[in-house]
Amino acid sequence: MKSIVAFLSLMTVHGLAADPVAAWSKDVTIKPVSAVEGRHTIHTYYLTNPESPDGKWVLFFTSTDPQGHLGEVRMIERATQKETVLADNVHTEDAHRVACQQWLSGGKGVAFHEVIDKKWRVVVVDVETLKKTIVAEDHQVGFGRPEGDLLPMYGCHWNPGPFRDLEVWDASSGKTTTYAKISEVEAKYGEWLQKEFAGKPCSIFFPVLSPDLKRVFFKVAAGNGGDDYMSSRASHRQGTVVYDFEKAGCIWQRNRWGHPAWTPDSQHIFEAGNISFDIADNPAKYTRLKDVPVLSGTHPSVSPDGTLMVTDGMSKNVGGKGDEWGIQVVDMNGGKWVLLHSFAQNGGAKSWRRNHPHPAFSADGKRIYYNVSDGPFTRLMVAERP
């Protein structure tokens, strides 16, 4: 945590506002990303920014299916509202993360996963030519970095078959490399795995690359087999493991998964509950932001400059009404925060796994994207500060 404080102090010395929350406390505009009605528009997850690296486009999943399970991967030009369909007839696991659509290679590509006749595949689309490349079959996609070429993948968590390790596809070479193996995780953290998963075969699940592309954190899953992936009982998933590519080994582990997110320095993980872990600490120990109310059901992510955190969650204890959800912006030094938006979240896509707001900052830190389900359709919103 010391390096985060030092980083923030350095940024303040170089002229950033001493109160980064202030810019989000007045004259913020909030509106739907698309003006088109009668459909779901869904940003995938809090761990990836839906805005292209050049700031010109926004990526989202659209669907007229009441459940939000079938639809299209689209991008919309911010200046003109022009939409481009990158992939249609896309079948997903749920409306929670939809197609896990994400930018790749500095915005030249878009990656996503889909299922066709119960067979999963990872696809990358060239946004200029719209040419599709099937990167892997019987896999799902984790989250890479929009500016990078690396795309982490894993075997289907409910029934991974032989694909139990972390695999990374490189867009610059077209090659796939196996990195963290589940056997390595078992060798280092076998006692925990035995206690948590009772000896069931495990696999690496949901990998997320660090900003510097040198590390990845992931969850561990024990699948229940079969092909019924639309069920909370499809697999048992728990824990957080960090793997270092340069050291070629697992370097950190925590028994629980708390909606983790990387901080910009790639040395810390920030989680629900407003807690931060330094991955140099073994065993894992945390520090908590002071004087900041904790929301329920949160998905926190840190701004690109490291000064702010944005999260969603039940907003009653920060001024929201009843069972409303809200978007909260918080100073990473603690003490200062603002409730940006509070809204009903009991409508939208009728998926077996509910969609959540999943807020994420734009690369320049001036916009926050999040989903709202306050009516018949889930809508992607954008809040922009002055």
Condensed to tens digits (0 to 9), the pLDDT of residues 65-108 reads 999 999 999 999 999 999 999 999 999 999 999 999 999 999 99
The arithmetic mean of pLDDT across residues 143-162, rounded, is 98
Predicted confidence (pLDDT) at residue 10 exceeds the cutoff of 80:
no
pLDDT tens-digit series, residues 28-44: 999 999 999 999 999 99
Q: Does pLDDT of 55 surpass 50? A: yes
**Inter-residue contact 110 to 125 (CB < 8 Å):** yes
Q: What is the pLDDT of residue 3?
A: 42
User: In the β-sheet with 119-126, what is the strand arrangement from edge to edge?
Assistant: 102-104, 109-116, 119-126, 132-137
Residue 18: band (very low, low, confident or very high) from pLDDT cuts 50, 70, 90: confident
Residue 322 included in any domain: yes
Q: How many domains does the chain divide into?
A: 1
pLDDT at 14 over 60: no
pLDDT per position as a tens digit, 309-341: 999 999 999 999 999 999 999 999 999 999 999
Instruction: Answer whether residue 93 is part of any domain.
Output: no
**Is the model's pLDDT at 164 over the cut of 90?**
yes
Residue 38 CB burial class (10 angstroms; 0-12, 13-18, ≥19): exposed
CA atoms within 13 A on the CB side of 104: 28
Residue 131 exposure: Cα atoms within 13 Å on the Cβ side: 5
Rounded to an integer, the average pLDDT of 172-201 is 97
Inside any domain, residue 363: yes
Long-range contacts of 195-200 (CB under 8 A, 24+ apart): 196/220, 196/236, 196/238, 196/239, 196/255, 197/222, 197/236, 197/238, 200/236
Mean pLDDT for 337-355 is 98
Q: Say what the pLDDT of residue 7 is.
A: 38
Q: According to the model, what pLDDT value does residue 201 have?
A: 97
Which residues constitute the domain of residue 312? Answer: 1-32+262-279+288-386
In the predicted model, is pLDDT for residue 12 greater than 80?
no
Q: Evaluate the omega torsion of the peptide bond into residue 283 and state whether it is cis, within 30 degrees of 0.
A: yes
Q: Flag whether pLDDT at 155 surpasses 50.
A: yes
For residue 171, is it within any domain?
no
pLDDT tens figures, 195-249 = 999 999 999 999 999 999 999 999 999 999 999 999 999 999 999 999 999 999 9
The answer to whether residue 307 sits within a structural domain is yes
> Which helix (DSSP H) or strand (DSSP E) does residue 61 occupy?
strand 57-63
CA distance 43 to 62: 9
Q: What is the pLDDT of residue 328?
A: 98
Query: What band does 15 get if pLDDT is binned at 50, 70 and 90?
Result: very low
Q: How far apart are CA 356 and CA 315, in angstroms?
A: 13
pTM over 0.85, yes/no: yes
Residue 185 lies in a domain: no
Residue 237 counted as domain residue: no
> Are 28 and 328 within 8 A, CB to CB?
no
Instruction: Report if residue 334 sits inside a domain.
Output: yes
